[in-house]
Amino acid sequence: MTELVRMTAIDKRFPGVHALKSAQFDLVSGEVHALMGENGAGKSTLMKILSGIYQPDGGTVAVEGKSVTVQGPRAAQSLGIGIIHQELALMNDLTVAQNIFIGREPRRSFGRLDEGKLNEDAESIFKAMNVAMDVRAEVRTLSVARQQMVEIAKALSYRSRILIMDEPTAALNDAETNELFAIIRRLKSEGVGVVYISHKMDEIRRISDRVTVMRDGAYVGTVAAADTPISTIISMMVGRDLENTDVDIPDLSAAPLALEVRGLNRGRTIRDVSFTLRRGEILGFAGLMGAGRTEVARAIFGADVRDSGEIIVHGKPCTIRSPKDAVGVGIGYLSEDRKHYGLALGLDVRSNIGMTSLFRFQNRFGVVNDNALAVVAKDYIAKLAIRTPTDRQEVRLLSGGNQQKIVIAKWLLRDCDILFFDEPTRGIDVGAKAEIYRLLQSLAAQGKAIVVISSELPEVLRLSHRIAVMCEGRLTGILPGGAATTQEHIMRLATLRQGALEEATA
């Protein structure tokens, strides 16, 4: 095996943050090397240095045995380094082939685009990947999984020998993940070295050869994936034993109803969905991708227009036509995409926490009392243990777990007592997950009514007092929480399609 990368004593500082402290990493040809750590551990920062997005403040980078200075992404590409970010960076209105070769399109005489060769070159890359792809299709027509394949093809078009994948399966289902893993194994057999960043422990065991763990910007250690128990890797990541967050299922039969949904419909995505939610309850929503879980939350919150259905809050029928209406009756929604719909990344922590409640801090002329807002923001920073140097820190510089806590603080300040959490721990490390779990359980104990939508069945089982399961827009069953329900029970209902559902209920 050839050593492709060696990073030694890498140091990097940002304002108020020492992101990397003498960090190290190496990669050899034909291996998948997982890079793990809690959010804020420095994983992405280290890889952004390798891919030329950031410049290090100290340390050395060697590629195939030669010390290099990676001045920018183009320099990284010329060195055979490709990176696929967690947020895909494709142009939806262009075709697959155009996305792959943007800025490098083959030309005929007089600079005319040679579209035939463009498509032919793109097809040859997918053929080598053993992936069937219509290279003339617009990217917007592709699923997230297919877009992921386009990103890989784009990286390989630069003849990348080093491929960095940051949370590549965050939005993929099991079948799509298996397809991605088949491609990774094929690349590995061809001598490509893959850096694989993920928080999903089961994936690490399935796909990686070695695991390097970082904590607080520093290197902790490198272990063989096959020989190392998951508990050891978690201990390396967090530097502490995680508390058991399993809870007893409380008797909420006498608790007042916070929310009733009756006969909710929206096209083919939501079909006659009805359920109840009591004060102090955590109701989990499970199902495969496309089952309609997020669509239900968005329709209740007024983000999408529903065709029909009744929403009753604290015993009173409500007319909810917009998120403003929903917030007005005490419903908050934490989107699965917090960066686009939950946060203003360019603003500071204080502004984000106060975003939905600024009216509380305004005088009669509409001027915000910033000092009063600062006091409240600092109180929530302390209550939720948000790790930030100051309430003036830009939110984009914080880890995913801390960003999620800021969104929660925003809705708590708005005094919402019905909260929808859509994929609350997506892209969050195991340590931050445990903190979010404790926070949700604490909110429920205070009487908040909570819906948790999650693609991770262990998470649903760990948190929920009851579990609502959806398939193809329909609610196929509601299961009890606790030890009485297993992943197999949930999956049985999650795959109970309409024909089987009608037969089962006949």
Mean pLDDT of 255-264: 97
Mean pLDDT of 292-301: 95
How many angstroms separate the CA atoms of 52 and 141, rounded? 31
Which of 137-146, 291-300, 364-373 has maximum average pLDDT? 291-300
**Nearest partner of 463 among 475, 454, 476, 473, judged by Cα:** 454
- Residue-level pLDDT at 506: 43
- Residue-level pLDDT at 328: 93
User: HSE of 401 in the Cβ direction (CA atoms, 13 Å)?
Assistant: 23
Confidence of residue 242 (pLDDT cuts 50, 70, 90): very low
- Residue-level pLDDT at 491: 82
Amino acid letter at 312?
I
22, 313, 320 from 25: Cα distances, Å: 10, 53, 52
DSSP states of 39-60 as a string?
A: TTSSHHHHHHHHTTSS--SEEE
**Nearest partner of 267 among 289, 292, 243, 245, judged by Cα:** 292
DSSP states of 200-262 as a string?
A: -HHHHHHH-SEEEEEETTEEEEEEETTTS-HHHHHHHHHSSPPPP---PPP--TTSPEEEEEE
Contact 100, 122 (CB under 8 A): yes
How many angstroms separate the CA atoms of 453 and 291, rounded? 11
Residue predicted with more confidence, 301 or 484? 301
Residue 416: alpha-carbon gap to chain centroid: 24
- Looking at residue 255, the DSSP 8-state letter turns out to be S
Confidence of residue 501 (pLDDT cuts 50, 70, 90): very low
Percent pLDDT > 90 in the chain is 54
Starting at the edge strand found earlier in the chain, the sheet holding 308-313 runs 270-278, 257-266, 308-313, 316-318
Mean pLDDT of 7-33: 94
How many angstroms separate the CA atoms of 451 and 114, rounded? 53
- Residue-level pLDDT at 472: 84
How many angstroms separate the CA atoms of 474 and 483, rounded? 25
Percent pLDDT > 70 in the chain is 94
Residue 454: alpha-carbon gap to chain centroid: 11
- Residue-level pLDDT at 246: 54
Does residue 432 surpass a pLDDT of 80? no
How many angstroms separate the CA atoms of 404 and 342, rounded? 9
Report the residue count for the chain.
Answer: 506
Mean pLDDT of 208-237: 91
Mean pLDDT of 18-46: 91
| Domains delineated in the chain | 3-238 (3.40.50.300), 255-330+416-506 (3.40.50.300), 338-414 (no CATH)
- Residue-level pLDDT at 171: 66
Query: Lowest-confidence range among 128-132, 395-399, 448-452, 475-479?
Result: 128-132
How many angstroms separate the CA atoms of 453 and 460, rounded? 8
Tokens of 58: 């100290």
Q: Alpha-carbon torsion 291, 295, 299, 304, what sign? A: negative
Judge if pTM exceeds 0.75: no
DSSP states of 303-318 as a string?
A: SS--SEEEEEETTEEE
Beta-bridge partners for 257 = 278
Residue 492: alpha-carbon gap to chain centroid: 25
Mean pLDDT of 25-36: 96
Beta-bridge partners for 25 = 7
- Looking at residue 104, the DSSP 8-state letter turns out to be -
Amino acid letter at 343?
L
Contact 10, 49 (CB under 8 A): yes
- Residue-level pLDDT at 399: 82
Does residue 272 surpass a pLDDT of 90? yes
